[in-house]
Amino acid sequence: MNLTLDPVALTQALIRCPSVTPVEAGVLDTLQGQLEGLGFRCRRMPFSEPGTPDVDNLFARIGEGRPHFSFAGHTDVVPVGKRDSWRFDPFAGEERDGWVWGRGASDMKCGIAAFAAAAAGFLAERGTDFGGSISLLITGDEEGPSVNGTKKMLAALAEAGEVPDACIVGEPTNPKALGDMIKIGRRGSLNAYLTVHGVQGHVAYPHLADNPIHRLVRMLASLTAEPLDDGTAHFEPSTLQVATVDVGNPATNVIPAEARAVFNIRFNDAHTSQTLIRRIRERLDAVGGRFELDIKVSGESFVFEPGLLSGLVQDACEAVVGRRPELSTTGGTSDARFIQAYCPVVEFGGVGETMHQINERQRSDDIRGLARIYRQVLDNYFPRPA
């Protein structure tokens, strides 16, 4: 299978742009230059919102008609941590010992480079009249607030009539080896910020005070006493985890005026954020007292039943690496949570063992293998005319 664009070299070039969220650092310029050389029409899509960083994004498309197949991903990366703990400069894109090293090598500049290489090989063989459209939807705001990226891009593309018919998000979904796993859905995520109010007083005279810590403890016990569910067909059980409990009281003889807790719920398709919010408030109201509850939902749960798109990726993996991936909904959230509202989406990318770690890296052979898998998907999605 011919790859006319080297995905390893492009991965290295992208890593060399220190695009820590929300900094673009030339990474979109680098990718745009490669895509325009292949004939893609590129459109930069910057967005702003008060209280969040400005973010630049890139939409590139070749072809006019349908079906429209898209690859989505992000060029922004997390901070490097202790720079002197890295074996190589995290933004050097070093290739050594069969690996490409650097921040973003796994999550997920290798995926973006692999798809560009797959498209290059496909277009070199089939030309631009292949009976549809191919696009890349690339954000610089996935590792950050996720406010000025994919979500706003999709809304703008919908207005312009450019929403894709199917999409692969190139997140590093494979735990150990290329072809291990495809994500066909994701759990939802809800963060709750609870403040319980009381009356400050002396610990020796509790009848003159109201200890908010005692009620907070009862509230958290009520929320965690029973499982949220037993899991569903495609999901493990939902979980509620208390992340922090804070009082900030330096004195041992003072009942504080308030106590705070933060908890997160990762929920499956047995719930929506609204049903969970009602459940939380019912439990808190049953304990009673004055409290404030602020809830932020970063995404609803979703799942696409196994079908055409997941089957295409499974078949491509089997053909290229001899391994048929498991279909899974494990892990955190990704920008697929936005895309699923517009078209069928699955996630499949590189191996994620070192994502966000010191010495993040990806095997060079796996980057090439990923490009071949994406190329096989394109070949099967756009069959040759009979």
User: Is there a catalytic annotation at residue 142?
Assistant: yes
Q: Is 353 annotated as a binding residue?
A: no
Q: In what order do the strands lie in the sheet with 99-101?
A: 95-96, 99-101, 361-363
Backbone angles phi, psi at 86, to 5 degrees: -75, 145
Q: Is 171 annotated as a binding residue?
A: yes
Catalytic choice (76, 141, 210, 366): 76
Under 8 Å between Cβ of 255 and 206: yes
Q: Is 107 annotated as a binding residue?
A: yes
CA atoms of 359 and 82, how far apart (whole Å):
10
Q: Is 356 annotated as a binding residue?
A: yes
| Neighbouring C-beta atoms of residue 289, cutoff 10 Å | 16
User: Is there a catalytic annotation at residue 54?
Assistant: no
CA atoms of 48 and 149, how far apart (whole Å):
9
Give the tokens for residue 39: 């004939």
Catalytic choice (56, 94, 95, 142): 142
Secondary structure (H, E, C), the chain:
CCCCCCHHHHHHHHHCCCCECCCCCCHHHHHHHHHHHHCCEEEECCECCCCCCCECCEEEEECCCCCEEEEEEECCECCCCCHHHCCCCCCCCCEECCEEECCCCCCCHHHHHHHHHHHHHHHHHHCCCCCCEEEEEEECCCCCCCCCCHHHHHHHHHHCCCCCCEEEECCCCECCCCCCEEECEECEEEEEEEEEECECEECCCHHHCECHHHHHHHHHHHHHCCCCCCCCCCCCCCEEEEEEEECCCCCCCEECCEEEEEEEEEECCCCCHHHHHHHHHHHHHHHCCCEEEEEEEEECCEECCCCHHHHHHHHHHHHHHCCCCEEECCCCCCCHHHHCCCCCEEECCCECCCCCCCCCEEEHHHHHHHHHHHHHHHHHHCCCCC
Residue type, 347: E
Residues tagged in the binding site annotation: 74, 107, 143, 171, 356
Residues tagged in the binding site annotation for Zn(2+): 74, 107, 143, 171, 356
The residues that are catalytic are 76, 142
